[in-house]
């Protein structure tokens, strides 16, 4: 096998997509670990787990992603999103291996009027975003070679909990839903992102890269959560009226970015990517949800 790859967060959306795709990459040997097998909130436990193990690549999909709960569980959020990333980066540096780490658009203030570039100033608006940014900074300080940080946004999948599955569930139960229209971003298919990660691993661009680079990735296009909900119901299809509301009409403990578009020029140019349009990737996810449930939407 050409590479032995460790995937953390194996039961999350991205981890499960990587597991599904793993059979199509026979040259890779995969090890998938969940939070039950490795407690990423415990730095000493991480180091102990790696004591007699070696890999060629670490794909860190694990994260504390409960944005609102993070406001009251800051210690746990920073342990997983910052300290664990620091520990994994130190291991990658010591072993001379690559590390691919997933970050978020929440590192930005969300008040821009043009897509965020990797070099734009960060300004998290809550505990979740700050813990993810601090994880990035820790990894960049350690700077393991042939490693990348990928910021993404609005991730969805047929696995786990996400906006698409919530809309499908609620849309079948209710006649009308209110959905925010003044938050703008780009949905990201976890499967599309997983394929990009697997492509990057063997790319000559990564192998020649020294240190750690930041890239932005989401599907192409732009929409609001309201637009996204309409597209989901149309593609499913589900008969449910969608009422547009403002953010102020749906208060949450954590502040959400009003603008989450990411400029993807760097990752497209570096790795010669063609990124799918979000509306083209959505139907495949809906079909998979239908398949997994064993019934019609």
Residue numbers annotated as active site = 128
CA distance 241 to 178: 9
CA distance 21 to 43: 29
How does strand 147-152 pair with strand 28-32?
Answer: unpaired
CA distance 288 to 68: 28
Give CA angle at 19 (228, 98), nearest 5°: 100
**Beta carbons of 251 and 220 less than 8 angstroms apart:** no
Phi-psi region of 263 (alpha: psi -120 to 50; beta: other; left: phi over 0): beta
Q: How many Å from the N-terminal Cα to the C-terminal Cα in the chain? A: 40
How does strand 98-104 pair with strand 147-152?
Answer: parallel
């Amino acid at each position: 096998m050409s590479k032995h790859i460790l995937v953390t967060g194996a039961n999350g959306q991205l981890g499960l997509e990587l597991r599904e795709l793993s059979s199509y990459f026979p040259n890779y040997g995969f090890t998938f670990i969940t939070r039950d097998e490795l407690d990423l909130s415990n730095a000493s436990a991480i180091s102990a787990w790696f004591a007699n193990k070696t890999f060629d690549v670490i794909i860190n999909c694990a994260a504390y992603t409960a944005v609102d709960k993070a406001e009251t569980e800051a210690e746990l959020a920073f342990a997983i999103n910052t300290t664990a990333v620091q520990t994994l980066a130190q291991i990658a540096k010591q072993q001379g291996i690559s590390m691919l780490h997933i970050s978020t658009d929440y590192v930005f203030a969300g008040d821009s009027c043009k897509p965020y570039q990797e070099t734009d100033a960060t300004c998290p608006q809550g505990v979740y975003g700050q813990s993810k940014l601090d994880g990035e900074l820790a990894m960049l300080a350690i700077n393991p070679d042939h490693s990348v940080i990928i910021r993404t946004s609005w991730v969805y999948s047929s696995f786990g909990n996400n906006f698409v599955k919530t809309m499908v569930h609620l849309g079948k139960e209710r006649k009308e839903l209110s959905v925010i229209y003044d938050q703008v971003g780009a949905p990201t298919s976890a499967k599309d992102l997983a394929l990009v990660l697997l492509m990057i691993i063997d790319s000559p661009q990564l192998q020649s890269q020294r240190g750690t680079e930041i890239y932005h990735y989401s599907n192409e296009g732009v929409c609001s959560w309201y637009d996204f909900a309409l597209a989901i119901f149309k593609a499913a299809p589900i008969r449910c009226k969608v009422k547009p509301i403002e953010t102020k009409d749906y208060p949450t403990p954590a502040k959400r970015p009003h603008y989450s578009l990411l400029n993807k020029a760097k990752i497209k140019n570096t790795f010669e990517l063609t990124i799918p349009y979000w509306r083209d990737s959505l139907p495949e996810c809906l079909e998979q949800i239908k398949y997994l449930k064993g019934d019609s939407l």
